Amino acid sequence: MQKFIGTGVALITPFKDDLSVDFNALEKLVNYNIENGTNYLVINGTTAESATISKQERQQIINAIVKVNANRVPLVLGIGGNNTMAVVEDIKNTDLSNIDGILSVAPYYSKPTQEGFYQHFKAIAQATQKPIILYNVPGRTAKNMDASTTIRLAKDFKNIVGVKEAGNNTQQYLELLRDKPADFLIISGDDDLALGVTLAGGSGVISVIGQAYPKAFSNMINCGLEGKNKEGYATHFKLMEIIDLIFAENNPAGIKTVLQELGICKNTVRLPLVSASKELENKIATFVARF
């Protein structure tokens, strides 16, 4: 699965002031990332405010990105949830002909046992031949999928090709890197840990901040893949402040504010999220102006 090694970005969904999807801004964002080194794009992930996107809008967004991308980089589509049967039906009923892989978030709210996680992803793996990247983000789902469960899934299903691990748990990353099958991808979902994970043997990142600074972030991850720790950390240190800032209130309000300062899109979000506070907006603007 070489196509998912390096820097992937979890694209935001740009909105206009009336909260409709801003397709011009989306085109600008996609081109900006591809032209500046991003290796693959994730569509309709949680950073895209997928919980607020209708099925019709999702298909329009997919179509728009497929058209702009023009087969330049691989595309990953977020399809997940806490109703296993509904996720399976969604996968079966979605046109995946232009999609290279599926990113599927661990069931949220339900807090399944480890066997529940396994059976959930087993059903998803059996519903498609597309490569699947598991997404473990316990801070949002309220339950951690243990490293042993991830490794069990990796060994049992050939189309489960990797995990986006976002528990901000260094020990769990190391357990995954130690125990994984040789070709299984450990992808950082934590921007602040991405370089260290990559240097330790990870396959890169699915990043939030990377879509704002694709050249710098992808260069940093490439340093990690090449074992160039000093060069990689030189960039990491420059990005530390903005990584903290974009997650200070809620995601994606922070990253949308960065992108607004860069002239790519507005910082509009849909409820229940609200835009970044003026205080945070000012801090982000100060960083962007001097970076």
Tokens 């995946």 correspond to 96
**Residue 204 dihedral angles phi and psi, to the nearest 5°:** 125, -140
Residue carrying structure tokens 């069931």: 107
The two structure tokens encoding residue 136: 């473990």
Spot the catalytic one: 164, 180, 256, 283: 164
Which class for 108: exposed (0-12), middle (13-18), buried (19 or more C-beta within 10 A)? middle
Reported residue count of the chain is 291
Q: Are 26 and 65 in contact (CB under 8 A)?
A: yes
Residues 6+ positions from 125 with CB-CB distance below 8 Å: 132, 153, 157, 159, 160
Q: What number of H helices and E strands is found in the chain?
A: 12, 8
Say whether 135 is catalytic: yes
The DSSP string of 6-74 is EEEEE----B-TTSSB-HHHHHHHHHHHHHTT--EEEES-GGGTGGG--HHHHHHHHHHHHHHHTTSS-
Catalytic residue list contains 233 = no
CA dist., res. 237 & res. 281, Å (int):
21
| Bond from prior residue into 272 cis (ω within 30 degrees of 0) | yes
* Three-state DSSP state, 192: coil
If residue 105 lies in a helix (H) or strand (E), which one and from where to where? strand 101-105
Residue 271 has a CB neighbour count (10 Å cut-off) of 7
Catalytic member of 32, 40, 118, 135: 135
DSSP conformation class of 262 = T
Catalytic residues, which ones? 135, 164
